[in-house]
Structure 1
């Protein structure tokens, strides 16, 4: 099966000598087309490093990453930026919204920068689904932190990117909105064949994914398919991890 995101023996080491820290210890894994994968593990397990290397935001110390069919080896920053702009969307804990732009303008900004015309009906739908239909003309300074996170999520969904990387995408949201956003991500994966990689601490959030990867000390130690909040929590307990309270 096609894997739009493929890591092959990816290692990431910070520092040199006796003080060197291995964040990723040789990960080989393919995130297949249309899959929704949650990545879990304790602080320092390498979750965010895996996501950053997979997205071309960080360079592995060794190994290879293939993104949307393109090896990242030797690509300069301009080529990486163009590749991400064409194929990738992001939802990070930092919202990265443009303060002078309205909600709608922020949502369609990546499309505008790529020279693409937004699908207005789809833009309206995703803004409505994240609960901001009444806020389309507001600027970030007029929104709460949770509302700004919803804008970032709508922005990621608006372009129907082939690959979405999400780092704790629902961490700043109330429970009802968080579940709506997770359902929207799951629907995107199933209906449009998007590949979604999501880092989370929350077993409930992870249960919306098709599978869950568990990382400990920079290595994949187990994998769960058809996860439920109960099976994810049980695996975390087995690994002696401490999941955050949903």
Structure 2
């Protein structure tokens, strides 16, 4: 369900995922240009996914052409937060109501999210990046490669410094692991050095960044990673 049609019932799903994309970035439907890079952001409830999206939009909106698709089960809470914060023009933010567990719409049946991304690109494109934010989920949440070209998984120190050690597909498979709310570590007894070691043990050479969005420029490590992915996407 999109923001401009609140009376429409939630999207019904026709199960099955799109085929994985390989090779050069494909063209958007009906367009002669290559489509935007789609970056999925997942993570547990309260880890700071929406705040990370907002901070990325504020930092990069003058540099990149951005749009956002949010996912919530029954509400449009995350999209409404982004609209209130005016991180992007309203026409660049849309919401999907999954009506089921968040991972359903990002992994099992991606049709509503793919449709939302394609509608954004058709309406306000060409775009450089579409950020697809999952609803809060657990450590097993991953995005279908038919939906997201790259995946970010956000955890936070208040959730426990054992999360990287516990692993799970979200922690181990994401293209970028973000350990957020580092400013809270002294207050919740989290050992950041141990989290870094455990993350390296689980992820090998895959990147891990530590962020505190409460501090100026706190999202910069994520923005730097995103710039690198956009450059690679354009050069593909």
TM-score (norm 2): 0.32
- Structure having the higher strand fraction is 1
Larger radius of gyration: 1
What TM-score do the two structures reach when normalised by structure 1? 0.31
